[in-house]
Structures are given as C-alpha cells and as structure tokens.
Amino acid sequence: MATNNVHVPDDLLAQMQTAAHGQGKTVDELAEEALRAHLDDRKWQDLLAYGRQRGLESGYTEADIPDLVKDYRREQKLSPAVAVTCYIRKKGWSLPCRVRPVRMCRSER
C-alpha cells in the first residue's frame, strides 16, 4: 500500500480521531473509507448529470416517458422487421423502395 500525507485542519483531525475511536477504526481506515465513499458518490453524480443532459438534448419531457415505454414494450413483441418499420414510420421517415414491411404496426391498425 502506498503512503501519502494529507494535511487537514486541526479541528477536522480531532473529529476524525473521535469518529474513528467510536467506530473502533484507525484514522487512516476512516479516511480511506470516507475517500472511497466520496469518489463512488462522485461517479454517481457524474452519471446522473450525464443522464440529465442527454434527457434535455432528447427533447422529451417527463410526461412523454409512459408512452415511450409502452411503445417500446409493444414493439419488442413484434418481429425485428416490423419493429424497425414502425420506428421509421413513427419518425416520419420514408422507407427505401426495397424495404417492404411484413405487416402493419399495431399502432397503425
């Protein structure tokens, strides 16, 4: 294990010593645990920020989510060719001449 010195204010060191003693740990163990917890939390915060940003960029609102989930689940029950056709039609795109849908999407019936 590598050794590194970290400087903390005296009052924080006193709090760490009290907490470590109360938990039956050394100050080093308590500091390692706190640093790991902080770094793990930082990863989650970064992931949540990424998700929020992607959500904003998508143009969807929270009210759109139930319908999106319902459509996705319905299309998962279809064959892959029909699901792709449904997706293309829903986006308003045209199908290439050579692509012929197997059948109509359920939402188009």
Alpha-carbon dihedral sign for residues 60, 66, 69, 73: negative
pLDDT number for residue 77: 73
Distance spanning both ends of the chain, measured CA to CA? 66
Cβ neighbours of residue 87 under 8 Å, at least 6 residues apart?
75
pLDDT of 51 > 50? The answer is yes
- pLDDT tens profile 54-102: 888 888 888 888 888 888 777 777 666 666 766 677 776 665 544 555 5
CA 80 to chain CA mean position, Å: 26
pLDDT at 97: 47
54-57 CB contacts, 8 Å cutoff, 24+ apart: none
Q: What is the pLDDT of residues 12-45, one digit of tens each?
A: 999 999 999 999 999 999 999 999 999 999 999 9
CA distance 102 to 95: 13
* pTM more than 0.75: no
